[in-house]
Amino acid sequence: MTFNWDLVWSSFGPIIGGAVTGTIPLTLASFALGLALALLVALLRLSPNRALSGVARFYVSVIRGTPLLVQLFVIFYGLPSLGVKLEPWPSAIIAFSLNVGGYAAEVIRAAILSVPKGQWEAGHTIGMSRPQTLVRIILPQAARVSVPPLSNTFISLVKDTSLASLILVTELFRNAQQIAAFSQEFMILYLESASVYWLICLVLSTGQSALERRLDRYVAH
């Protein structure tokens, strides 16, 4: 068997292109929306109101208890039967955001709970309201705790976006699949796409370490 180096080089462009115009923006948009959703869900979960925390608990349970691929298909292939027809991109962003929202909510909730009660009290005693204490005192400390687990969620999301190829989103893996089908060089194309995912995740891991170092500057070592 001869190794098709020409194909390696010529497919590199479309695969990187898929990462830049598909995988990366899809990941960033979904993670940003997902995090915002997660914060909201975490706060609902922590609310003394039983109905609100019940809703949040139910949401987290459904998201974590069902496959991401099924969630994607429900939104893209399922919703049209209810008259809601969404394009591939919005479908993917909604599905991934909802997914991140469910997982990250638990991370954020645990991080908020890990901040000592005395910090809430200190905030209150200098006159801060609950929301003010949350934003200025509690969340900055919770952020430090939640960086490692949220980085996991982020890195998983990068790889999970490959599932969007199944609802026709043009991203890294869909480009690889098309070239593979055309050239019949499955091994080359799939290994190549694997290495690009890996590369992205390596960069993210480096970023995670830098962020952790930055947030650790006020902690004794």
Partner 1 sequence: MSPTDTSNTSQAGPGLVLSARDLAKAFGSNVVLRGIDIDVLRGQVVALIGPSGSGKTTVLRSLNGLEVPDAGTVTFGDADAGTVRGSGAGLTLDFAGPVGQREIAALRDRSAMVFQHYNLFPHMTVLKNIIEGPVQVQKRPRAEVVAEAERLLARVGLEDKRDAYPFELSGGQQQRVGIVRALALKPQLLLFDEPTSALDPELVGEVLGVIKELADEGWTMVIVTHELAFARQVADEVIFMDGGVVVERGPAAEVLREPREERTKQFVKRLQHDV
Residues that bind partner 1 (CB under 8 A): 116, 118-119, 121-122, 124-129, 132, 136-137, 140-141, 144, 217-220
For residues 20 and 13, give the distance between their C-alpha atoms in angstroms, rounded to a whole number. Answer: 10
Least Å distance, CB 52 to partner 1, is 18
**Alpha carbon 178 to chain centroid distance?**
25
Least Å distance, CB 214 to partner 1, is 11
For residues 188 and 42, give the distance between their C-alpha atoms in angstroms, rounded to a whole number. Answer: 43
Least Å distance, CB 145 to partner 1, is 11
Which residue number, 9 or 218, has a Cβ lying nearer to partner 1?
Answer: 218
Least Å distance, CB 53 to partner 1, is 20
Least Å distance, CB 121 to partner 1, is 5
Which residue number, 110 or 143, has a Cβ lying nearer to partner 1?
Answer: 143
Which residue number, 119 or 151, has a Cβ lying nearer to partner 1?
Answer: 119
One DSSP character per residue, 30-55 reads HHHHHHHHHHHHHHHHH-S-HHHHHH
Rg of the chain (C-alpha set): 21
Least Å distance, CB 100 to partner 1, is 25
Which residue number, 65 or 131, has a Cβ lying nearer to partner 1?
Answer: 131
- The residues, any chain, with a CB within 8 Å of residue 139's CB and separated by 6 or more, are 112
Which residue number, 51 or 219, has a Cβ lying nearer to partner 1?
Answer: 219
Sequence length of the chain is 221
Q: If you ran DSSP here, which 8-state letter would residue 66 be given?
A: S
Which residue number, 28 or 210, has a Cβ lying nearer to partner 1?
Answer: 210
